[in-house]
Chain A
């Protein structure tokens, strides 16, 4: 392991992170709030980053360095992102701050705060801005801003990008990340204007746009989007949540004028079918509760979009819905968004691959001599990719089960424990019962909060990089 290189990359990323804190600092100054928490955080993060980036190293970048660096960076980014919360004094402990920051960067949106409306604007802005940064990836930003990281930054991008098969849009990695960030920022700006147009206040629309763009879900109202009570806002949010959970390469293809190729994506079709089916089923199920057909479809669509995109906003308290609807939502927490989007969880393309692999297995048993390949978008999927998809799924499930066991020590109901873990590892945000859309995570013990924070990072980085960080052999020099 080339630790010097890992530290240098980490240092550069922390420097970029400290620069991003200038924006919430600006918000502080505009609203005439106390800028000291941010000044301290910038000084500490920037200082540590500068010291680490001064380490001299060669550029021999191999996959293990990439994975190791990404996992380490996400832990440290969480720790540094927590500093403004810690210094502002409104949080009970540093563990709470760490949980909140990790929840922000991993675009989970689970909060330990019982009351958010009284927080200063700067802190509210930072919470949502973390979603925006974490959505596309902290390292992708670093690569886009600092191409000088050395030749083989691709390993970093690979470790951070979601989805079973990572492909670039254009030949150069740094160019690729610039295009992705361009699409991302462009869509976010459009969203800010649309939300303003449908009647959301300026500050709220900026902050909520960040939360939706990163598919995070930190709300700035205690009862989330329901607080606005406006169907138009809910519909706009639904549309944008769905847009941000589509693979960004689809948008790239559309921008290049290859609309037909873009719409041919199997994953996109699967995603839309799942969204439509869930919406219809939930609409019928909650019809008797809600009363009108329009309202039930609107609420069903909002909640489905919110959960499958792993945003986690709520337009109503779905914890009160019938069991069938709640179960559908929990299943959606496992499926998650498309690969290559800002959403989390297992990802539609993996679910699709697994279903097709199962179909192949059955066919193989019926016709033992038949040779079958698994295809996605009309292309044969390599057996190695298929294998890693299966391993990912198994690891995801094992880690979920282990985390449930660890969190159950706190002695909350099974529904609370189970959905808390599922929602954290899927980077969704709300669960059911105590951690439902109107609840929060403050009642958990410090230990559980750390376990859940780890689940969030495991989920965001798609497990394997974090396991590399904790495997003993990766730490050895040779």
Chain B
């Protein structure tokens, strides 16, 4: 598909990277020479210099014949004008990043007349994701499927866990009976694997579990790691994510403290968030954190603009014995360093946004097949978890899973049949109307039909 990305910043670059890897024709528009040079050197994309909201630049990039135009500059207004201009030129689908809190509330009115098909707000998405983690602290990451009825979480295996050293098939029957499934494993220095019964967990592995929330809670109870919801949250950095997060937490009745350096910003926050405690000061200053008794909080979230600061103060918070620590980091290589230091929950707004947009683009590529409801990039982007709804185009309906030959690195993790959540065994079947959750190590799955390895199936004679 022909995709134009306006704005070659962090999100724009990440999108260009993911989309060009999926063999789309990507054109990037930006005014900054250096940013364009970096993109043209590192990626197989076409670069156009110019203002993305101007018709001349959009015409040069041939926006009229584009399938998707993504406006991701740092200015919301430019993104809106860009979508409008692209739509007028004939672009089929426009996506605009709108981050401003005031616009975000009112945009539903303007969306249609501005020609925007989808509004993305990476900060809000990140805040939603963090709020989920705070509701379920044992998980390092948490994604939801089927409107929250199925959750995918990850956690790191510790020395004292009884999982260590025993194959999954030999774990106690209590574990086996829980409505959940081990669906992926990340191990230091190795590729992501989809474990089978013979997989032996080791200390330091990052396990991905999928299942019903009740099952996951029960699992962590058995593991002795269950901690209640965070009731008292400490935020460092008062940017947009902090605002969205505080607003969500406030509705849930959670006490929030925000430390922000800029006094002006503090005033804005205190006006918008009457229930939160806003502190003006340097969040990286240990003395200030001690004064505010950070150790008494049961969750700590580092959200300053500097990834480095976030990691360091998160490590400090962990040292203080805070049960749940979350850091924001847009740099992927920092996530690896953070994991090595024991900081498990690292949120990347960039990666969340990329996942959202990939989901839209793949859905457009596959307009006739099964509908993709959700797509999450897990394991630092090395694997994907997807939710599909099977329909009449889905092949091999009614064939038991054990007789299906799937491509390598693909797992059918959960089936939802008539509203009932099933962790499938070999005898389960897919039928039209079912929700199917798939975990895949390969990228570019567009449809349920893409998971079948047809060459193998024909040999087996199953049709």
Residues of chain A at the chain B interface (Cβ within 8 Å): 63, 151-155, 168, 170-173, 175, 379, 382, 384
Q: Which residue of A lies closest to B60 (CB)?
A: A261
Q: Is the CB–CB distance between A171 and B33 below 8 Å?
A: no
Q: Is the CB–CB distance between A171 and B26 below 8 Å?
A: yes
Q: Is the CB–CB distance between A151 and B46 below 8 Å?
A: no
Q: Is the CB–CB distance between A151 and B21 below 8 Å?
A: yes
Residues of A within 8 A of B46 (CB): 168, 170-171
Minimum CB–CB distance from B14 to chain A (whole Å) comes to 16
Residues of chain B at the chain A interface (Cβ within 8 Å): 2, 20-21, 23-27, 33, 37, 40-42, 44-46, 49
Residues of B within 8 A of A171 (CB): 2, 20, 24-27, 44-46
Q: Is the CB–CB distance between B44 and A173 below 8 Å?
A: yes
Q: Is the CB–CB distance between A152 and B42 below 8 Å?
A: yes
Residues of B within 8 A of A173 (CB): 44
Residues of A within 8 A of B40 (CB): 154
New A-B contacts (8) at CB < 8 Å, excluding given A152-B44, A154-B40: A151-B21, A152-B42, A153-B44, A171-B20, A171-B24, A171-B25, A171-B45, A173-B44
Minimum CB–CB distance from A144 to chain B (whole Å) comes to 14
A326 to B265, CA, bound (A): 74
Minimum CB–CB distance from B263 to chain A (whole Å) comes to 38
Q: Is the CB–CB distance between A154 and B33 below 8 Å?
A: no
Minimum CB–CB distance from B3 to chain A (whole Å) comes to 9
Q: Is the CB–CB distance between A172 and B25 below 8 Å?
A: yes
Contact pick for A151, options B33, B37, B44, CB 8 Å: B44
Residues of B within 8 A of A152 (CB): 42, 44
Q: A170-B25, A171-B26 are in contact. Are A382 and B33 (CB under 8 A)?
A: yes
Minimum CB–CB distance from A357 to chain B (whole Å) comes to 18
Residues of A within 8 A of B45 (CB): 171
Contact pick for B44, options A172, A379, A384, CB 8 Å: A172
Residues of A within 8 A of B42 (CB): 152
Minimum CB–CB distance from A425 to chain B (whole Å) comes to 28
Q: Is the CB–CB distance between A63 and B44 below 8 Å?
A: no
Q: Which residue of B lies closest to A155 (CB)?
A: B41
Minimum CB–CB distance from A70 to chain B (whole Å) comes to 16
Residues of B within 8 A of A175 (CB): 25
5 contacts between A and B (CB under 8 A): A152-B44, A153-B44, A171-B44, A171-B45, A382-B33
Residues of A within 8 A of B44 (CB): 151-154, 171-173
A170 to B2, CA, bound (A): 10
Q: Which residue of A lies closest to B61 (CB)?
A: A171
Residues of B within 8 A of A384 (CB): 37
A173 to B20, CA, bound (A): 11
Q: Is the CB–CB distance between A154 and B25 below 8 Å?
A: no
Q: Which residue of A lies closest to B36 (CB)?
A: A382
Minimum CB–CB distance from B87 to chain A (whole Å) comes to 21
Minimum CB–CB distance from A213 to chain B (whole Å) comes to 27
A384 to B25, CA, bound (A): 27
Give the interface centre of A151, A152, A171, A382 by most chain B CB atoms within 10 Å: A171
A472 to B14, CA, bound (A): 35
Minimum CB–CB distance from A191 to chain B (whole Å) comes to 30
Q: Which residue of A lies closest to B21 (CB)?
A: A151
Q: A168-B46, A171-B46, A382-B33 are in contact. Are A63 and B25 (CB under 8 A)?
A: no
Residues of A within 8 A of B24 (CB): 171
Q: Which residue of B lies closest to A379 (CB)?
A: B49
A147 to B27, CA, bound (A): 20
Minimum CB–CB distance from A55 to chain B (whole Å) comes to 21
A175 to B40, CA, bound (A): 15
Q: A168-B46, A171-B26 are in contact. Are A63 and B41 (CB under 8 A)?
A: yes
A89 to B60, CA, bound (A): 55
Residues of A within 8 A of B21 (CB): 151
Q: Which residue of A lies closest to B24 (CB)?
A: A171
Q: Is the CB–CB distance between A154 and B26 below 8 Å?
A: no
A110 to B156, CA, bound (A): 68
Residues of A within 8 A of B26 (CB): 171
Residues of B within 8 A of A154 (CB): 40-41, 44
A101 to B359, CA, bound (A): 52
A252 to B44, CA, bound (A): 19
Residues of B within 8 A of A155 (CB): 41
A173 to B47, CA, bound (A): 12
